[in-house]
Structure 1
Amino acid sequence: MSGARNMEDYGLFLALLGSALLVGFVSVVFSLVWVFSYREGLGWDGGSAEFNWHPVLIVTGFVFIQGIAIIVYRLPWTWKCSKLLMKLIHAGLNTIAMILAIVSMVAVFDFHNARSIPNMYSLHSWIGLTAVIFYSLQLFLGFAVFLLPFAPAHLRAALMPIHVYSGLFIFVTVIAAALMGITEKLLFALNSTVYSTSPPEAIFVNCLGLLIVIFGALILWMASRPHWKRPPEENYKVHRPNGGAPGGMEAESTMTDGSNADRSDVGFNSEAARKRNFKLDEAGQRSTM
């Protein structure tokens, strides 16, 4: 019964993951179609084509790649990978998202300055810049506390809930800023009178906004399910080359619910050690941001 339930949960996770990847990828495609079909394409000359990098890079990096970085620890086929490898992948994805977000901001300021348009006057710009600043701080603290081996375990354990919450909060803030941004761009490009008649561009970009919302909802659902967290690393004992498990212990499957009565004596004797390492495991390997 437990095995069937775990397989059902695994199938649901794969379905949600596939849906999120599809919706996220389509969102990126929609952003490119928007700027090439309805706007002036992409360029770097201080004109509208330079501004168009902003929505494309925000959707690609700050929404899509950041969303994947949030759930990368929860991919079941990565659970046997080392914590360090997963931390590097997690940090690498977030770094790419940060770089793309910064380039998108440079494009906006450069466009505004070239056209003598005021900077930082709209709510969209306030929330967007705030998200970039907090994201950079989140990334820096993530490197300093969770990636580098210098922070003590008790500090990691204390900061982990803040790290997780702030990561999800920044992701939601980015989605909110993106929705405000695409609406603001439509109002400026089409003016409110034309926008209210629902021209093809407005309908298309509104669909892009819906895709972003759906992608965010899927990512948040997967990130908030406790039974999809990366299990403690001790549940993945790596077999020795000759087929034996380290210390004579059998490797333990993470798809079980721990209810099997047939446990080895060595497994019972290691219970105290597992409890002592609990906080370190929690702080070191289940980050979502």
Structure 2
Amino acid sequence: MAGIVKATPLTFVVHALAVVSAVMVLIWCIHYRGGLAWEATDKSLIFNIHPVLMLIGFIILGGEAIISYKSLPLKKDVKKIIHLVLHAIALILGIIGVWAAFKFHNESGILNLYSLHSWLGIGTISLYGIQWIYGFVVFFYPGGNTSIRSESLPWHVLFGIFVYALAIATAAIGFLEKLTFLQNGGLDKFGSEAFLVNFTAIATILFGAFVLLTVYAQKDQEEEDYAGSYSAI
């Protein structure tokens, strides 16, 4: 059947890493950091929403959106919708996650946008939004003509890979930044929480790496399958 791409062992590794990363960030924020709350006297509970939504919502769902077009045994049109919707959900949850960080800072009397992580984060989610809007308009609705889609596809794919790699790097810097703050506040540098945060960051990086490896491994089949269709990223 035209438009069908088979799953590979790489996709199973990606899914496993997604589960591991999600479980670890939840254990960190709920067990070690006290839980999640949008309104709370303990403002750190508001901040906890940020890493959970950025990792599970923005990065994991974003990665699943990328590989969905490659691994799901469905027709192109169906995969296109799934891909588009997953990216939209990832973007929305990412925006809420960023909002949670601003809310935490504002209610705690902490300055905003002073760190490299925050600069990269705002830049990444802005580029992600631009990428989604461009893909929607050119490849979905109202849709460009065949020539525009053909010329845009390689750049759209390349830009998507860049933005996703930037998201992974930004997340890793965020884990480092938060752990450094906690350790400066007295957290044991060799304690279980510190190790958990570091392993969560490693799992996140590996997840992103295997998403990109999946893109590369199926590149040839992708180019043939995408003729006149929506991009995979």
Q: TM-score, normalised by structure 2?
A: 0.91
Judging changes above 3 Å, is the alpha-carbon distance between structure 1 residues 230 and 183 closer, same or farther for their aligned structure 2 residues? same
Alignment equivalent of 2:128, drawn from 127, 130, 135: 135
User: Is residue 2:201 matched to residue 1:201?
Assistant: no
Query: Cα offset for 1:88?
Result: 1.2
**1:57 touches 1:101 (CA, 8 Å); kept in 2?**
yes
**1:109 touches 1:119 (CA, 8 Å); kept in 2?**
yes
User: Is residue 2:181 matched to residue 1:188?
Assistant: yes
The one-letter code of the counterpart of 1:154 is S
Deviations along 1:202-234, one digit per CA (max 9) or x if unpaired, are 1111000110111111111110122442744xx
| Counterpart in the other structure of 1:215 | 207
Alignment equivalent of 2:51, drawn from 51, 55, 68: 55
Query: Cα offset for 1:87?
Result: 1.6
Which structure: larger Rg? 1
**2:35 touches 2:45 (CA, 8 Å); kept in 1?**
yes
Task: Tell me how far apart the structure 1 counterparts of residues 192 and 164 of structure 2 sit (CA, whole Å).
Answer: 29
Match of 1:69, SS?
A: helix
User: Is residue 2:59 matched to residue 1:67?
Assistant: no
User: Is residue 2:101 matched to residue 1:157?
Assistant: no
Query: Cα offset for 1:193?
Result: 6.9
Q: Considering only aligned residues, what root-mean-square deviation do their CA atoms show, in Å? A: 1.9
| Counterpart in the other structure of 1:173 | 166
Paired-residue identity, % = 36
**1:44 touches 1:50 (CA, 8 Å); kept in 2?**
yes
Task: Tell me how far apart the structure 1 counterparts of residues 136 and 72 of structure 2 sit (CA, whole Å).
Answer: 24
The one-letter code of the counterpart of 1:175 is I
Match of 1:282, SS?
A: coil
Deviations along 1:138-197, one digit per CA (max 9) or x if unpaired, are 1111110001144111111111111101111111101111011111111112218755x3
Matches within 5 A, 1:277-288: 281-285=226-230, 287-288=231-232
Q: How many positions carry a matched residue from both structures?
A: 226
Alignment equivalent of 2:28, drawn from 31, 34, 38: 34
Q: TM-score, normalised by structure 1?
A: 0.74
Structure 1 portions without partners, runs of 5+: 1-9, 233-280
Task: Tell me how far apart the structure 2 counterparts of residues 44 and 202 of structure 1 sit (CA, whole Å).
Answer: 25
| Counterpart in the other structure of 1:244 | none
| Counterpart in the other structure of 2:3 | none
Task: Tell me how far apart the structure 1 counterparts of residues 176 and 162 of structure 2 sit (CA, whole Å).
Answer: 21
Task: Tell me how far apart the structure 2 counterparts of residues 58 and 212 of structure 1 sit (CA, whole Å).
Answer: 11
Task: Tell me how far apart the structure 2 counterparts of residues 122 and 166 of structure 1 sit (CA, whole Å).
Answer: 24
